[in-house]
Amino acid sequence: MIIVGITGVLGTGKSTLSGMLRDKGLPVIDIDELGRQASRSPEVVTAVEKAFGSAFVKNGSIDRDAMKELVFINPQALKTIEGIIHPVVRGEMCRSVRSFSVSGAKTVIIDHPLLFETGLDKK
Q: What is the pLDDT of residues 100-123, one digit of tens each?
A: 999 999 999 999 988 888 878 777
| pLDDT single digits (tens) 16-59 | 999 999 999 999 999 999 999 999 999 999 999 999 999 999 99
Helix axes 75-102, 64-73, angle to 10 degrees: 130
User: Residue 119 has what pLDDT?
Assistant: 79
Q: Which of 28, 49, 15, 37 is nearest to 88 (CA)?
A: 37
Nearest CA-CA partner of 110 in 9, 13, 18: 18
The model carries a pTM of 0.85
**3-state DSSP call for residue 67?**
helix
